[in-house]
Structure 1
Amino acid sequence: MNATIPDAPEIRFLTSGEVSDAERAAAERAVRSALAAARGTATSVQVTLSVVPDPSLPRPALARAVAVLDGHRLRAQAAAPRLEEAIALLRDRLAVRTSHLEAAGGSGVRRRGE
């Protein structure tokens, strides 16, 4: 079963600072994209987007995701100068975590010959 099927759970968002609707939509697409390769079912997904309005910080934008995939909690986060960059990094890191879960033989993962 693919994690992006229509009956997958709605992504819950927590935001702080100036986060636009477009950035929120980009984060949703990024997380769904990262989970698309998973053969299991996502039962819960929460995304946190945060921007600290402090120009002295080198990476004031944070994107974090916690997804429960067949009972396994996957977490990824990224900080960057801009939220768009943090979201792109988050997508890549969550995709890596998903592939590691499958490589480790996580629940719902089909192995060769099965």
Structure 2
Amino acid sequence: MPLERGAVYLAPFEGMGPGGVGTQVIDKYHVILQDAASMDVNASQFAFAVGSSPTEGQPVRAFEVLLTVAEPGFPHDTLVDGRWVYTLRRDGLDEANYKFTLEEKAMDDISVAIFIGLQLNAPSE
């Protein structure tokens, strides 16, 4: 199981329940944002974004990336929201189901969406 930038796993995810009430655990796509080889060797967690089904009729916003079935990987159109970056213990992937690894272009788009979604500022010169 690769722990590399762009690897996609299907794994349980605890999120808001229906209508924003309570929480529920459902399987979601976890898109890994880091390469293990580039991480601090003592880091016990990794960062990921979540892929979900898009809301029909809603336009894609600047902090979102729509990955369609025309691209390799997802079995249906999938939206990655750059406003939310999560962390999970490395061993949290032990029971996850590795699916595929996204192409670099998709990961570049996700990086930009996260930059916008977290309202980061470009470094000043």
Return the TM-score normalized by structure 1: 0.29
Structure with the bigger percentage of strand: 2
